[in-house]
Amino acid sequence: MSIIERLFPGVTLHEFRERYWLYERLLARDSLERFPELLANPVFREPLTALTMRSAVRGIAKPNQEGKEQVQSEFQPWTAERALAALRNRETVHFAHINEEPLPSFAEALNQELELPLVLPGEMLQRFWLAFLSRPSKGLRWHWDIHHLFVLQLFGRKKWQLARNQFFRRPQVPPTGHDGWNNWTAPILASALDVDHLDESVRPSEYEEVVMEPGSALFLPSGTWHRVETLEDSLHLGYAVRVPTLPDVLIHALTYSPRLAASRFQVPIATTTDLTRLTSNEVENNEALQEHFRAWLDEAARVLEGFRHGELGVPLMKYFMNYLQGQAAASDG
């Protein structure tokens, strides 16, 4: 049985990929006994043992317990003593890039089940396990993430409030992430949303509320508003998957490909007339630009060809290649 089918009993892997993956959240409630590999590892049984889990990143978050939106986070210095003190103070201890068994093997299985690309640049292959350990307390404030999340509750209960993203028609691929730890918005995102920061007026007023108990699993597409409150001593795991978009791949490829330094692509845009021509449909004014645009697309196709992985024929790369070939054909026409 696939990991997806174990996470969400009653949903087949095919159904998950066709109906939920990237688009719709999914909640399942079942016994944690369906993951005996996790139960066999004492690290995941109680707060004191959880503090010993092997993780490349460990930190402490300080949610405001009076209901305000301020959240602080610290990563250094991190000691077991400091973490215990944080838990007593209703703060949250969090981990990322966890290397405890069986999580690495689960990650490998999930990557295969979802047919995730294997040979993209490193920053586009952000896939890692994380965990949140907390006592009864307020948790993270309203935020969304650029990662898709698979959540599994190991012990204790947590209340999640979930809402669709009102800013994007396709919130599963927002232009950039909203930082869940700080009360500010990245400049690119602020420009896209036409807001300076995400104050109370833009946070969700209507939402779905679910309580996660041991064994509960949740798929949360990227861009989904959520906030969490811990009801009792709790530990939940999350597998974070960043799915690259076409602009992510093209911008990276066309920025770092040495061949794109060739002089044939360096068309000066020196005057306001040049800028006007970029948006003009008059062929006689755009002949040189069209020629270079076709060459640009051709180069992009060659660069992306290098991302192919032998006989795997990564579906995402096939899509990119077909897209570029279609654009180049349209330009020729």
Domain boundary among 192, 225, 241: 241
> What CA–CA distance (Å, rounded) separates 36 from 1?
14
> What CA–CA distance (Å, rounded) separates 317 from 314?
5
202 closest CA partner among 260, 271, 144: 144
One-letter amino acid at 235 equals: L
Tokens 């630009």, residue?
289
* Domain encompassing residue 9: 3-241
pLDDT in tens, 125-135: 789 999 999 99
On average, the pLDDT of the chain sits at: 80
Same domain, 188 and 278: no
pLDDT of residue 36: 97
213 closest CA partner among 233, 183, 198: 233
Domain boundary among 191, 226, 241: 241
Comparing 31-40, 126-135, 222-231, 282-291, the range with the smallest average pLDDT is 282-291
Same domain, 150 and 95: yes
25 contact partners, CB below 8 Å, separation of at least 6:
162, 218, 219, 220, 221, 224
Ranges of beta strands (E only) in the chain are: 26-28, 55-63, 71-74, 92-98, 127-134, 137-138, 148-155, 158-163, 208-212, 217-220, 225-230, 234-241
Quick count: other Cβ atoms within 10 Å of Cβ 8? Answer: 22
63 forms beta bridges with 71
Same domain, 172 and 47: yes
pLDDT in tens, 277-294: 766 666 565 666 667 767
* pLDDT above 90: residue 313: no
pLDDT of residue 204: 86
Same domain, 138 and 283: no
Q: If pLDDT is split at 50, 70 and 90, which confidence band does 140 have?
A: confident
- Residue 137: Cβ-neighbour burial (10 angstroms; 0-12, 13-18, 19+): middle
Q: Can you spell out the DSSP letters for 162-229?
A: EE--SS-SSTTS-SS---SSSS---HHHHHHHT-SS--GGGS-SS-EEEEE-TT-EEEE-TT-EEEEE
Same domain, 119 and 176: yes
CATH number (domain holding residue 145)? 2.60.120.650
Q: If pLDDT is split at 50, 70 and 90, which confidence band does 206 have?
A: very high
Same domain, 74 and 184: yes
Domains identified in the chain, total number:
2
Of 265 and 181, the structure prediction assigns the larger pLDDT to 265
Quick count: other Cβ atoms within 10 Å of Cβ 64? Answer: 12
> What CA–CA distance (Å, rounded) separates 222 from 173?
7
Same domain, 121 and 258: no
Same domain, 171 and 279: no
Same domain, 115 and 257: no
| Percentage of the chain lying above the pLDDT 90 cut | 45
Question: Per this entry, what is the length of the chain?
Answer: 333
Quick count: other Cβ atoms within 10 Å of Cβ 80? Answer: 11
> Model-level pTM?
0.78
Same domain, 122 and 210: yes
pLDDT of residue 310: 40
Q: If pLDDT is split at 50, 70 and 90, which confidence band does 259 have?
A: low
161 forms beta bridges with 209, 227
pLDDT of residue 281: 64
